[in-house]
Structure formats: structure tokens, C-alpha cells
Amino acid sequence: MTRTKSAGFALEKSLVDKKKRARKVLAGLHKLYPEADCALAHGDPLQLLIATILSAQSTDVTVNKITPVLFQRYPTARDLAQAPPAEVERIVHSSGFFRQKTKSIQGACRKIVEEFGGKVPDTLEQLVTLPGVARKTANVVLGTAFGKNEGIVVDTHVGRLATRLGLTWTSKDGKDAVKIERDLIGLFPQDEWTFLGHALIWHGRRVCFARKPNCPGCTLERHCPSAGLFNEAGDFRG
């Protein structure tokens, strides 16, 4: 994509224009990743909640090695709440920040037992009252475990792709999760929010890499104002 072609995206001034292109991006994602889903292995909402807490500053691969051991030893919220902290820390150690994560996991499980009858709550308002649970984690649990499209998960991949694809215009950069989510919510139908998050994450891991994205191999290239504007080292030339 040349700079002249990229400049054409600057004419996209109205929300209607942005939505038209967003629909094309969404159609492309559905074609590429029809089965896009959460990469964190889980069997129920509690397991997904704990896995998501563990995934902060870690990888899904690492978390997926930890959780089978953790849940075999402590299968319920009550079990985890009552577990010796040192033992939980030992199990989750490789995920990083293991002391804080143990504190969050056990605090969340205690509240689930004491206030929610041992079951993970299924509303955003209740989920964010749990220790270690902010909006992003709540969106993961609501969308994937409960099938509720209450918001869009904005992790590092989604933030990066939303910025490169021109799907956010109020955020200062790809880390401005609150504004990015708000912009995405304004562009995409609510029943697509969970899929969108998963699909953008998949695309970020497989094609639109943080360094040196594979623009020539990207089928979304025609809809992307950043395509072709990275040099051989992966630096943005726009």
C-alpha cells in the first residue's frame, strides 16, 4: 500500500464511513477465523476467571500448563479460598507476580463463596467487585463463559490492531484500553463483540505481529490504513 492509497483513509470522517469499513474488517475476520475462541483452557466460569487473572503479564501457554495442576488440587472456589497461600504461590509461580496473583485468586474465591453462593457472578457490576478483576477480565468471563456481549476485551493485541486498522480515533495509543473499547463498541454490532476480541487476538498472533507485521500476507490489507507502512526492521513509516 502506498502513502497515496493510505491517505484515502483520511477522507473517512463520519462514523457512518468508519462503520462501513468496520463491517468489511469484521467480514474478513469471520472468513479468516470462523472458530475464533479464547485460548485459555477452561471447563467452567471459575476456571476461566482464575486463568484470566493468571494471564496478566504472562502467556496463555504458560497459564494452560499451570491451571490443570491448580484445579486438580483445588477444584472449587471454596477449596482455593481455603488453600495455604504458599502452596498456591508454588503452583502459579511461573506465571509471574505470583504473590499478588495468589492474593487476588484467593480473595476473589473468598468473595465468590461468601457473597455469591460459590458461583462466579454473571454481571459486570458484580464481577468487578472481585479482587483482581477489572473490566477486561470481566469482559473475558462474561463473553466466553456466559455468552454475554457486555463489552470488548482490549488486550495488547486488540489495542495494537485497533490502532493500526484505524478502528479507534479517540485513544492516544494502543494502550488506551478504555477509549479503544468505547470506539470499537461504537463501530461493531453488540452480538459480535466477543468474537471480535478473539479474532483480533488471533490475527495479532498470526499475522499482524507487534514487530514487522506480515502486511503482504494479510487479507485485511485493503481495509488497513497502516498496511505497507512498515520498513524491513518493522518500524512504522507513516
Structural domains of the chain sorted by starting position, each given as residue range(s) with its CATH number in brackets? 3-32+152-223 (1.10.1670.10), 45-134 (1.10.340.30)
Contacts 24+ apart (CB under 8 A), 110-114: 110/81, 112/46, 112/77, 112/81, 113/77, 113/78, 113/81
> pLDDT for 128-173, tens place per residue?
999 999 999 999 999 999 999 999 999 999 999 999 999 999 999 9
Cell numbers for 13? 470522517
End-to-end Cα spacing for the chain: 11
Active site (annotated) includes residue 155? yes
Active site (annotated) includes residue 101? no
Of 181, 155, 145, 114, nearest in space to 49 by CA: 145
Q: How far is CA 98 from CA 16, 91, 135, 210, 217, in A?
A: 46, 9, 21, 26, 38
> pLDDT for 44-94, tens place per residue?
999 999 999 999 999 999 999 999 999 999 999 999 999 999 999 999 999
Cβ atoms of 94 and 70 within 8 Å: the answer is no
Catalytic position from the list 18, 101, 136, 183: 136
pTM for this prediction: 0.89
> pLDDT for 198-226, tens place per residue?
999 999 999 999 988 999 999 999 999 99
Whether residue 182 has pLDDT greater than 50 = yes
Catalytic position from the list 60, 79, 122, 155: 155
Cα separation, 82 vs 208, in Å, equals 43
CB atoms within 10 A of CB 74: 21
Cα separation, 122 vs 209, in Å, equals 33
Cell numbers for 3? 502513502
